[in-house]
Amino acid sequence: MKYHRVIQLSVFLACLMVVSASAQVPFLLHYQAKVAKADGTPLDGPGYTVSFTLWDAAVGGMNLWSQTITGVEMNKGVFHVLLGGAGSTRPLSELAWDRPYYLEVGITGVAQFTDRTPIVSVPFAFRAQDANTVGGRRADGTPNNLPVLNAEGKLPGTILQDKTLGAAQLADGAVTADKVAVGAVGNPQLAANAVGQANIAAGSIRREHVYDNQIITGHLDNNAVTSAKIADGAIDIQDIKDGAVIDAKISGVAAGKISGQVGTAQIADGAVTARKAKLGAWTTGIIGAGWTYSDYVGASYWQEIAFPGASLTISLETTSVVLMLFKCTIALKSGDRGNPDFVCYVDGAATWEAQAQVADAGWEGWRTAPCGFHMQVLGPGTHTLQMRCTGNGQNFK
């Protein structure tokens, strides 16, 4: 038996797609048809099983959706059902509905209608097509179409192209600190004098953040540079202002740091002691006439040696200058001249010799007179000093 012509006509007249305007209402397709036998006798009664399949082509193509509904009642050949409910292979809302679909219907135990019926729009659905595209543009997030919110209900970051937001698009105060990525603000982004003292955290500026020669006198507070901030050897002559170094600023001056000579006015009375004299510096040319040993040589350093041939042993802790002074007391007969010869021996070696005339001819008796001195540098340890005296006098002591 054939039912094809009747079904096709009935579907064309009675097919109506109902699309929910609310997400809570099911997306269902209302389907109504009339089925009759080839002789025109309509089917009647309950218990029919009707199957529905949607294809993307009139012949062949891909099976997009299907549903089988049982217990369908025929009333003089007319029946109606809601497609997309229980028993569907997938919700109708998952279909794009952006191209023609074709419906194939079959009645179990009666017939399978191989001709597929196109799903067509009702008149108001033409307007719905424009609403779907919103002025001709689809809401699918593709270029030249409308963006689609993500699962969080927000616009995806790809909506905004790089460098499309300018100052005019940002409201005043819209960019807060938490909106700025770490490292995003560099020197080019800062206006001149934009960063004040209040914007800099304590201790955040370190030495590596300051360019060479950027800090000048105007940037330093008074007394900001302490002694600890000045590297050893960093202050040279050109760094000292004329007249800046006064007596109170000098705690000690090394000999090598004195330019020129030190005059008498610079030396305090009694400042030059025996230990201050440079070794070998005192010569006969330095010691003037009328020099009295007792004024400059302490009693503990003065030892008399009796003649002839007596010696003196001394012990030195450090290298020292030993000053040996000589005087003699001579006894002469009338008509003789006293011309004693003095030879100084240090540790058995002759180191110095001198002669002194202490009496005139025709003088007789004892007479005492100085005859000279000798200065010698001796190292630490024990040393033996000895004076040997010869002459044409009668007695020496």
Tens digit of each residue's pLDDT (9 = 90 or more) over 94-144: 888 888 999 999 898 887 777 898 988 776 566 666 666 676 677 767 777
Whether residue 147 has a cis bond before it, omega within 30° of 0? no
| Contact assessment for residue 5 and residue 39, using Cβ atoms and an 8 Å cutoff | no
Query: Rounded CA gap, 35 and 77, in Å?
Result: 5
Tell me the pLDDT band of 60, cut-offs 50, 70 and 90: very high
Query: Rounded CA gap, 338 and 363, in Å?
Result: 10
| Contact assessment for residue 52 and residue 104, using Cβ atoms and an 8 Å cutoff | yes
pLDDT above 60: residue 332 = no
Write out the two tokens for 201.
Answer: 């955290």
What percentage of the chain has pLDDT greater than the value 90? Answer: 14
| Contact assessment for residue 33 and residue 79, using Cβ atoms and an 8 Å cutoff | yes
Query: Rounded CA gap, 4 and 111, in Å?
Result: 9
Cα torsion 263, 264, 265, 267: sign: positive
| Contact assessment for residue 15 and residue 102, using Cβ atoms and an 8 Å cutoff | no
pLDDT above 70: residue 308 = no
Residue-level pLDDT at 12? 37
Write out the two tokens for 375.
Answer: 């200065």
* Each residue's pLDDT tens digit, 246-292: 877 777 665 566 666 777 777 887 776 655 655 555 555 555 555 55
Write out the two tokens for 268.
Answer: 């305090």
Neighbours of 18 (CB within 10 A): 13
pLDDT above 80: residue 6 = no
pLDDT above 90: residue 189 = no
What's the DSSP call for residue 189? G
Tell me the pLDDT band of 227, cut-offs 50, 70 and 90: confident
Query: Rounded CA gap, 397 and 389, in Å?
Result: 9
Q: Which of 26, 162, 37 is nearest to 88 (CA)?
A: 26
What's the DSSP call for residue 307? T
Tokens 């003095």: give the residue: 342
| Contact assessment for residue 147 and residue 88, using Cβ atoms and an 8 Å cutoff | no
Tell me the pLDDT band of 14, cut-offs 50, 70 and 90: very low
Domains of the chain: residue spans and CATH? 4-133 (2.60.40), 293-396 (2.60.120)
**Highest-confidence range of 15-24, 151-160, 372-381, by mean pLDDT?**
372-381
Specify the length of the chain in residues: 397
Tell me the pLDDT band of 76, cut-offs 50, 70 and 90: very high
Residue-level pLDDT at 346? 86
CA distances from 185 to 108, 163, 180, 208 (A): 73, 16, 8, 18
* Each residue's pLDDT tens digit, 155-182: 776 677 777 778 888 888 888 888 888 8
pLDDT above 80: residue 330 = no
Amino acid sitting at position 66: S
| Cut 0.95: pTM above it | no
What's the DSSP call for residue 261? -
